[in-house]
Chains A and B, each alone.
Chain A
């Protein structure tokens, strides 16, 4: 088995739910000690079903050298936990993982960036944190700066950078990591389209050069582009392991099963200034010509930050292709400053969606991206066509949507021949 890069056997991670915050105060501890000096030595409360939570259980898989493995699953399925264990940030409770080769982890873009330091200084710092030696960073310095397109500002403090420049620079450093195994977690979710394209391109390059990548994403387009194999996690267990197309269908099947109300907002990408909660279609099925209505509540994050945010809703079809993107700014659908919550009603009138299943993704954006919810809920469009006359499927199957159109056919009078 000399070409195995990663082998995971029966990996599990358990969390105790104590219901108390993880840090106590010294004062409480001392008072507790005074009240019951022997309590320290008493055995901890026995673990029961209720107070333990297995974020991962029985995870088994192997990754060959040069493979790009996609790790998909709903929010809360355990993907980030698995990445954290593989990156040695947290310890597993049971099982083992064998990694052959150096590991580079990109779990968040810009880890360790200090706002007061310049871009140059931060490149060295971030590179060192990610495990690059000083000489290595010097060698790649120009490449990194060119990739990030920040040549002019490289000596300015990072706090003066725009959010786009910041993200590009952070990703540029990580993109030049020369580790045999690369672990990447949804870092593409917070950039703009151009940036995402660049990142994907870079990842393809990396994959092409024979390095092993484990890639987590909610964007099925990226997954199908890059990954030869996919593992689907569901509630901490392995739901599927195999070909990409099949895995993606499995993922969508799972989404269709349960409503998205339970997704943990903290685990999603975005600053959290606002979070979308309880995103649901008004009804599970619509006809083709009906307006499709999606309801949600937008709640401010715990920081109580203020800011103007708008909402993007993207409707994608079963293959993950986006049909349309809708920005709430067009009719002043702005979530405004203040700590109040909002009820949002989104109505899609046109285009007329073809019969089938559709998935809703949304983002809440302001100066920074506040919340990203990929495939947060789904709805079905019934096969009742909006036309006067019935039509066989061949009449509309090629298009992405149905259209409101009309033909006028008039006979041209025959030319009278003299």
Chain B
């Protein structure tokens, strides 16, 4: 009797208790990339199906905020922008990465608990959930970006387009990564401490004021620049404005602080998430 031939490749999975601190398996996440896309698209579709304003909201929100800021901060409080850029444009461009961050942060923080049904019934790398939540925010961002380009045409001549414009996608990525890092932390914490969700609106509001959305970072005195830069959004917003509008470049100290912070948050966020991942299904 012939022995049965073993198929050339057969996936082998070994399930056993894990221990220690690990990073997620990026290869596995790549295997599941279609699912990430599906979930992100599903979130986007749901968002636009549910509200009549849907798509328009992506435009109205930054627009209204810009108008309010222009009146109260730009005109009445007399905040001056760097490089002679008109305040409304300055503000709008700052709002773009900010709103991507704020939206993604909210969605990511609540995503794990929202999908608890999936987590207890199906296997896939859990990291996909906050990842898809973040990516869904890019839809709104794209629409708002289109609006900004229109604005830039209106205000043409009041700003300079420099070589740095090629770095715009880099700063967008940075905004996404920042949102992901913080979102990951909050998503994990939210499973353990369910009342985190109530701190979110407060957190978002405070965060907006400590970020240079409505004012330039040059407002902060030189000796405080490093501490100020520890808010990763500072580097993101100023970098974005610099690359898109040719605003004066943010100081190196600032950028270093911000980038360093993002890296720390990302790595620690991934490790913490991975550690908690083991018990998600039991605890959620």
Contacts and interface: CB of A to CB of B under 8 A. Distances in A.
A95 B17 CA distance: 8
Given A23-B191, A125-B42, A111 B122 contact: yes
A293 interface: no
A128 B34 contact: yes
A102 B11 contact: yes
Contact of A94 (B17, B45, B119): B17
Given A125-B42, A134-B34, A22 B15 contact: no
B50 A116 contact: yes
Contacts of A3: 4
Contacts of B117: 111-112
Interface string A161-176: 0000000000000000
B27 interface: no
B109 to A, nearest CB: 12
A117 interface: yes
Interface residues of B, number: 42
Q: How large is the interface on A (under 10, 10 to 19, 20 to 34, 35 or more residues)?
A: 35 or more
Interface stretch (A81-89, A140-148, A273-281, A358-366): A81-89
- Which one of B16, B117, B194, B199 has the greatest number of beta carbons of chain A within 10 Å? B16
A26 B16 contact: no
B15 A88 contact: yes
B75 interface: no
A125 B199 CA distance: 32
A45 interface: no
Contacts of B119: 89
A98 B14 contact: yes
B15 A23 contact: no
- Which one of B17, B39, B278 has the greatest number of beta carbons of chain A within 10 Å? B17
Contacts of B42: 114, 117, 121, 125
Nearest to A127: B38
A84 B280 CA distance: 13
B195 A27 contact: yes
A100 B10 contact: yes
A116 B117 CA distance: 17
Interface in A102-122: 102-103, 105, 107-108, 111-112, 114, 116-117, 121
Contacts, number: 116
A91 interface: yes
B193 A124 contact: no
B121 A107 contact: yes
A311 B113 CA distance: 34
A220 B263 CA distance: 56
A116 B49 CA distance: 8
A2 B279 CA distance: 33
Interface string B32-70: 001100110010011001100000000000000000000
Interface string B186-221: 000101111110010000000000000000000000
Contacts of A22: 282-283
A101 interface: yes
B224 interface: no
A99 B122 contact: no
A288 B118 CA distance: 49
B193 A25 contact: yes
Contacts of B6: 2
A108 B119 CA distance: 12
A204 B13 CA distance: 26
A93 B18 CA distance: 9
B282 A15 contact: yes
B158 interface: no
A26 B15 CA distance: 33
A26 B46 contact: no
A367 B60 CA distance: 43
A116 B121 contact: no
B194 A92 contact: no
B131 to A, nearest CB: 14
A133 B34 contact: yes
Contact of B193 (A26, A97, A102, A114): A26
B87 to A, nearest CB: 38
Contacts of A86: 15
Interface string B3-35: 110100011111111100000000000000011
Given A90-B282, A116-B49, A128-B35, 12 more contacts: A26-B193, A88-B13, A91-B15, A92-B16, A92-B17, A96-B15, A96-B16, A98-B13, A100-B11, A105-B123, A114-B46, A129-B118
7 contacts: A25-B194, A91-B17, A102-B11, A117-B42, A117-B46, A125-B39, A128-B39
